Amino acid sequence: MQNFFGQFAGANLGRLISCLQAVRDAGLGVTKHTEIGVNKSSGHIWAWDECWGGCVSCSLGGSVSWVYSCPECGREHFFDVYNDMSEYAKEHDGFCENCGGM
């Protein structure tokens, strides 16, 4: 098992806290199925749960976004608030405007 504080030390811990605060502000909770991590390409911290419509991410600069990843084409769509992302996910149900599924 990986040491939690080995992955989330320093600024990463602060950005993880920002993600978890956004989860709380959205009226969501974490479960035993919640996953957290560091995106190795961008350095963003993220949190995801199977009960959410997407994930929450905190950039290196500290800005928090909700992210819907299209299951069809993989394109990521960014939103400032969970409700906007959730509505987008419901509206596009398994595709996005990028992959032409509508």
Alpha carbon distances (Å) from 100 to 49, 53, 72: 27, 20, 10
Gap between the Cα atoms of 84 and 67, Å rounded: 10
**Cβ atoms 68, 47 nearer than 8 A:** no
pLDDT at residue 100, rounded to an integer: 65
pLDDT at 19 over 60: yes
**6 against 49, higher pLDDT:** 49
Structure tokens at 35: 């996953």
Gap between the Cα atoms of 85 and 88, Å rounded: 5
Average pLDDT over residues 24-37: 94
pLDDT at residue 2, rounded to an integer: 62
pLDDT at residue 9, rounded to an integer: 77
Alpha carbon distances (Å) from 70 to 18, 96, 99: 24, 6, 9
pLDDT at residue 93, rounded to an integer: 75
pLDDT at 95 over 90: no
- 33-90 pLDDT tens trace: 999 999 889 989 999 999 998 999 999 999 999 999 888 888 899 999 999 999 988 8
pLDDT at residue 30, rounded to an integer: 93
